[in-house]
Amino acid sequence: MTATDIGAAGAPMLPEAGLRQFREAGFTVVRGLFGEDEIDRLCDRFAALHAAGPVAGHFEPRPEEGDPLRVYPRVMQPHEIDELSLRVLLDPRLRGALEVLLGEEVLAAQSMFYFKPPGARGQALHQDNFYLRVEPGTCVAAWIACDVIDRDNGGLEVVPGTHAMDLFCPEVADVEVSFAREYVAPPPGLEAVPVDMRPGDVLFFNGSLVHGSQPNRTADRFRRSFIGHYVGRSAERIGEYYRTVSMSGDRVPLAESEGAGPCGTEFAPSGPH
């Protein structure tokens, strides 16, 4: 089984079929929303950021630890240190689709960039709003593929239908295959299905949707992605870590909710993996 998607190359707004799938299954893919040249510039920018060295609070490579994810750690909140990342996070095409999905004005809450180099662990199945703690309502992720993404290099997997369920109490994940501690097992009768993507495709999904990824089992392929998390303007509370801004870039502070933290609590370093 593979995830159903829609064809919408270059579309500035989400087609009706995409909205229907999002409501019924909790996710949808807009194909080719970003051009290959845009994705190339974004990847070049993050290669330069990585080469320039650590930025405290955003990413801190530790190549001496041997883990591919320590050599190429995810970059947290890059829009706060990089103008191109800010432009991508607030891109009008994302705003157009998100306003359709959320049915209201949109606020940006977070950006991330994952390198996921060859040999890197994945992230066990989880729910994003377990971390963001948006109240009332939930968040929506815009997951932008920056490489050809498939099962071999650890593409995203989703569990359709879980967006309509409450947040689950996570179990402890397997440290050998997941960099994050939390794991949510698919509910009985449901299963994770892969979402294959190409550079410039965007996967939109509900903050309660159970999703995750397997390790990158290739020898020479990265699985890079840029992710934004968004909330509707009617949201009243969110975790302190998430500094919400309008899609024009103005700070829009929300009250703090309890129990929130960075998206995916990493296992403590314990030597090479």
3-state helix, strand, coil in the chain (%, to 5): 25, 25, 50
Contact residues for 261 (Cβ-Cβ < 8 A; gap 6+): 131, 239, 241
Q: Across the chain, what does the average pLDDT equal? A: 91
Q: In the chain, what are the domain boundaries?
A: 16-256
Q: What is the DSSP letter of 135?
A: B
CA distances from 42 to 35, 57, 193, 215 (A): 11, 21, 28, 23
Above 70 in pLDDT, residue 62?
A: yes
The CATH architecture assigned to 16-256 reads Sandwich (2.60)
- Mean pLDDT value across residues 188-203: 98
> pTM of the predicted model, to two decimals?
0.91
List pLDDT tens digits, range 132-167.
999 999 999 999 999 999 999 999 999 999 999 999
List pLDDT tens digits, range 66-88.
899 999 999 999 999 999 999 99
Above 70 in pLDDT, residue 265?
A: no
- Mean pLDDT value across residues 166-182: 94
Contact residues for 52 (Cβ-Cβ < 8 A; gap 6+): none
Above 50 in pLDDT, residue 51?
A: yes
Q: Which amino acid is at 130?
A: F
Q: Which amino acid is at 3?
A: A
d(CA 223, CA 198): 10
